[in-house]
Each structure stands twice: as C-alpha cells, then as structure tokens.
Chain A
Amino acid sequence: GNSVTQMEGPVTLSEEAFLTINCTYTATGYPSLFWYVQYPGEGLQLLLKATKADDKGSNKGFEATYRKETTSFHLEKGSVQVSDSAVYFCALSDSTSYGKLTFGQGTILTVHP
C-alpha cells in the first residue's frame, strides 16, 4: 500500500534560517504529491503540490521537487519567518484512490525571532 515518511521533528529554527523537511514515499503507479500546512487551532490547507516527476511545486517561498528516482518530495524554504511556525504534512494520492490522501506523521516547525 501507499505510505509517506517524514523526518522526525520537532524542528526549531531562528528567523531567516534555511529550512528542509524531508519526505519520502512508497506508492503504486504515479502518485501526486502534496505539502499541507496546519496552523494552530485550524484545519489543513494546501501549501504546494506536484503531479508528475521533476515537477516543482512552489508557494509563499516554499518549494519541493518531485523526485521519482529517489521517491522523495523534500520541502525547502530559504529564509523562514516566525509566521511559518506550524505543522507540515507531506501527502500523496494515486489515480486509483478517489482522491484520498495518505499523510506522513507531520513535522512541527517552530521559528524563533
């Protein structure tokens, strides 16, 4: 079955530091890959997505590249802000799954001034 593995957290950074959150996946076929973000007390919202190999998703300074050869979709941001503090989830859906998402366990990011 499908599975997503994210790097262990929590991650604590100073403002303007570089961020990487690793994500690897196992899936049948050609999944679409997503990063969702959850701010305190809220539901999840889409941060970015990529639907085929070598695609790069980007939004709000965050980027992730769909690497089929390494089955990875690592999230990066060059300079984090305090407002980026949240929980980040990597997820996938495949063409047989009725749009269902399989999530990683989530990574808590805290950014200090």
Chain B
Amino acid sequence: DAGITQSPRHKVTETGTPVTLRCHQTENHRYMYWYRQDPGHGLRLIHYSYGVKDTDKGEVSDGYSVSRSKTEDFLLTLESATSSQTSVYFCASGQGYNEKLFFGSGTQLSVL
C-alpha cells in the first residue's frame, strides 16, 4: 500500500503551546489532507493541499495552519493549542477525484 507516515503517533501538550504534526508520503501524490476524528462527527477536513505551496481551508480550520514546501511533506500546526483540539488527527494523500485516499495511522493529541 501507499507509504504515508505521521509523526508523532502520540502527543500530550499543554494549553497555549504550539504543536506541529508531520505527514510524509512516498507516492508522489499531488493532493494531501488533514482530518480530525471525533466521536459522533466522523472525520472532518481541517486543511488540504493541491500542490506544493498550494493549500486551502477545510470545514474546521480555525486555530490550525498548514504548510507544504515539498510534494512529500505536509505539516499541520496548532498555533496555540486548546482543549477542544484534543482529537485523533489523520493525514491522507491521493491523486484526486474518483481516486481513493491513503491514510496514515493517526496522531492521538491530548491538550491538557
């Protein structure tokens, strides 16, 4: 299957601190995405990228920023973490409409 890795797998942090999650893919996929998974909400899109340096907001982007300086890397930053951002974060990559997405194994983030 596609190589897509996330780091870290688990993180505990304090309210108000910045946090960066990393996603790395080895499939040369053009599109990359960050989702968060919360009970009762399924997965909700935070930000996505449609090329190097090309990013846009998803439905729950407040308090998050992203950067994509290389095709293979997509970073998600929580500028000042809040308890409401405690969640499981998934990165995904793909080749676009009609094509399946490949998901990483997730990052469990706890903000205390």
Residues of chain A whose beta carbon lies under 8 Å from any beta carbon of chain B = 4, 6, 32, 34, 41-46, 49, 51, 89, 93-95, 97-106
Q: Mark B75-112, 1 if CB is under 8 A from A, else 0.
A: 00000000000000010101111111101111000000
Question: Within 8 Å CB of B105, what residues of A?
Answer: 41-43
Contact across chains for A49 and B42 when beta carbons are under 8 A apart? no
B95: which A residues are within 8 A, CB to CB?
A: 99
Q: Check if B97 sits within 8 Å of A106, measured CB to CB.
A: no
> Is B43 in the interface zone, CB < 8 Å from A?
yes
0 or 1 for each of B24-35: is its CB under 8 Å from A? (1 = yes): 000000010101
Q: How many A-B residue pairs have CB under 8 A?
A: 66
Give the chain A neighbours of B92 by CB distance below 8 A: 43-44, 101
Taking beta carbons and an 8 Å cutoff, which residues of B are in contact with A?
Answer: 1, 31, 33, 35, 40-45, 48, 50, 56, 58, 90, 92, 94-101, 103-106
B43, A103: Cβ atoms closer than 8 Å? yes
Q: A100-B33, A100-B48 are in contact. Are A43 and B106 (CB under 8 A)?
A: yes
Do A32 and B97 touch (CB < 8 A)?
Answer: yes
Which of the listed residues B42, B94, B98 has the most CB atoms from chain A within 10 Å of its own CB?
B42
- Give the Cβ gap from B38 to chain A, nearest Cβ, in Å: 10
B22 shortest CB reach to chain A, Å: 15
**Shortest distance between the CB of B21 and any CB in chain A (Å):** 14
Asked whether A99 and B103 contact (CB < 8 A) given A104-B42, A105-B40, A106-B42, the answer is no
Within the complex, the shortest CB–CB distance from B78 to chain A, in Å, comes to 20
Within the complex, the shortest CB–CB distance from A14 to chain B, in Å, comes to 25
Q: Is the CB of B101 within 8 A of A99?
A: yes
Contact of B103 among A43, A97, A98, A106 (CB under 8 A): A43
